[in-house]
Structure 1
C-alpha cells in the first residue's frame, strides 16, 4: 500500500540527464512509496527500447538542426519532445502498480483545468479521439514505472519532420499522418501553461493517492552515479543500437504492435534473427531472438519455442506466421 508520496522536477532540459534521473529514481524508490517525476526535454526524439532508430527518426535532419536522439528503457513507439511538452513518470513498487489509478492523476488534473480526457487504446490519453499523451511502462523485479508525454503546445511541424512512423501503423489507425491524430492541450484550453499543469498534477497526485506530497530535493541525489547514467544514455551505441544487416526480413502490424523481423536462414534453419518493435513489452526482442535462433522452419516448432519463452500465445502465433511468410519469399 502506498503511504508516502514524493514529487520531483528535473532541473534542466538535457534528455540524457533527465533519463538518468528517471533511472536513478526507478532504482531508489522504496516500498510503500510513489514518486511523481515531472520533466521536459528540449528538441529531442525519444525512441522505444526496441525500435530501430534509423527507421523511426530522420536522425540526420534532427541532428543538423541541433536536436537529440535518445533511447529510453521502456517499450512503445517514438515521440518528439520540446518545451511545449511536459513529461511525467510514476515510479512505484511493482506490487502497487495500477495503470488506472496512475492515469486518474492525469485525467483528474486535466478535469480541474476544464479538459475532459479519456484513457483509450493500449496506452493513449485522448480528447474526442485525438491523442495528447502516449504512455509506456517498465517492470524490473520489485520496481516499476509508468511514464508518458503531455502535449501542451508542442511544435507539430518538427514532430512531423523528424518522426517516420511505419505506413502500416498509420493505416491501422485510419489516419494519413501523425499530425492528423494528435492535439495540443492548449488548443483545447488556450490559456493553459506548463506551470499550471504541473501544479494541477501535484494536487491531483495527493488527492488520488490520499496522502501528503513531499518535495524531493534533487541536490541530495548521487551526482556521480547520475553522471555515469547520463553517459550511458548519451552513448551512440545505446541510442543507435544494432544495424539491420540480415538477408531476409519484413514488417507487419498486429494488434499488439508493429514489428520488423530480419532473418538469416540457411539449410532450413534460422541462423540469426533481429526483431524491432513498438510493442509495450520491453523484453520481447531478446525472447524472440533466442527462441528463433537455430529453429527449423516448421510452424509447430516455431510456436513451441516462442511459447516456451513465455511469450503470449497470440504474439507467438503472429510471429510464427510472419517467419513462415518471410521464408517463403
Structure 2
C-alpha cells in the first residue's frame, strides 16, 4: 500500500459469510478506488480457493453446530472464524515492486496493533504474530491489475470449535514442534482492555487517520443487486464451496516451504487423463489452467517438461519452479488412491 494514499471505507454490518465474500468480489471487480473494510462472520469454516474442502473440516461437527462453510476467492489454508474475531479487507492496484506483497498490506495492521502497545510483527509467508503466537493469517487474490488482500484478526477464539471443526492434513505438521492449529494461535484480547467491537472501531480509526479517509462508501441499489447475484451464483453454491469430486488413481500430498500441495491424478495407460492440484498455496493465476496443461501428457519427465514449455509454474503456485512440479508428479506415480 502506498503511504497516505486515500481509501474508500466500506461500512459492512453483515455477518453472512456468503454475502461478505460476494461484496469483496464486487468491490474488487467494479470499483477503481482503493478500498478498506472491516467485517465479521457468524461461525464459519473458510476454505482456501485451491483446497479439497471435504478434507479440511469435520462435516458431522460442523453440521451439528450449524457452522457455515464458504470457499473464498484467495488461496491459503482453511480457517475457523466467528463473532469473537474479525476480518479486514484491502483492495488496491497490483504493483510488482519486489516487496513481499503480503507485508506491505499487513504493515498498517501491525501499526494499528503497536499503537495499542501490542508487540506485533509480520512473520513467515503471511502471518502476524505476537510473542510467537499467530494472531492473524492473510491471503490474496489478484484480478487483472488489482489485488484483494484480506486477513483474520484473532481478537478472541473458540478453541474447542477450532480443535473439533478443523481437520488439517497431518503432512502439514511433519517435522514441526506444533501439532495442532489451536496450539499455535494467540489472541489480542489478552493485551487490551476493550471488546471486539471497540477493537474494530480502533482499527477503522487507525486506517482513516493513516490514509486520510474522510467518508464512507455505500452501495447503490444496482450494486447491491449485483452483490446478491454473486452471492447466489458463487458463495451460496455447493459446487463452489465444496467442489466437484472426480475419480482418481493416484494421490500424493507434500509440504513445501511455500505451502501444502496435493496431487490427484487419473492415469490410464501411463497418460494423465484428469489432474487436480490442491493445497494452501498462493498464486497469481488459476491453478486449474496449470492442471489442464498436464492432461493428455504421459507421466514421465520428458513429456511433462514438453507440456510445461512456455509455462511459469510460479505464476500458479508462488515459489515453485517447473522442475519441482515435475518431481512431485513423478513421486505421485508411485502412489495409489
Tell me the distance in 2 between the aligned counterparts of 1:245 and 1:260.
15
Equivalent pair of 2:102/2:126 in contact (CA under 8 Å) = no
Distance in 2, Cα, partners of 1:105 & 1:59: 36
Deviates more, 1:21-30 or 1:91-100: 91-100
Match in the other structure for 1:229:
230
C-alpha displacement at 1:245, in angstroms?
Answer: 2.0
CA contact (8 A) 2:36 2:88 kept: yes
Q: CA deviation at 1:42?
A: 0.5
Q: d(CA) in 2 for partners of 1:86 and 1:155?
A: 13
- Kindly report which structure 2 residues correspond to 1:175-324, keeping only aligned pairs within 5 A, or say none: 175-189=178-192, 191-209=193-211, 211-218=212-219, 222-231=223-232, 232-281=234-283, 283-306=285-308, 308-312=310-314, 314-324=320-330
Shift in CA distance, 219/130, structure 1 to aligned 2, threshold 3 Å: same
Q: CA RMSD in A?
A: 2.1
SS at structure 1 position matched to 2:326:
helix
Aligned pair count reads: 325
Structure 1 residues 143, 108: closer, same or farther in 2, change over 3 A? same
Q: Quick check: 1:61 aligned with 2:61?
A: yes
| 1:102 lines up with 2:102 in the alignment | no
Quick check: 2:141–2:149 contact (8 Å CA) kept in 1?
yes
Give the alignment of 1:72-221 within 5 angstroms: 72-95=72-95, 99-189=102-192, 191-209=193-211, 211-218=212-219
Render the CA deviation track for 1:53-80: whole Å, top value 9, x for unaligned.
Answer: 1111112321221110000001110011
Q: Between 172-181 and 149-158, report the one with greater CA deviation.
A: 172-181
Cα distance change of structure 1 residues 118 and 60 upon mapping to structure 2, 3 Å threshold: same
Distance 1:290 1:161, change over 3 A: same
Determine helix, strand or coil for the equivalent of 1:308: coil
Contact 2:23 2:227 in 1 (8 A): yes
Say whether 1:37 aligns with 2:37: yes
Partner of 2:333: 327
Q: Distance in 2 between matches of 1:309 and 1:287?
A: 10
Offset, 1:28: 2.3
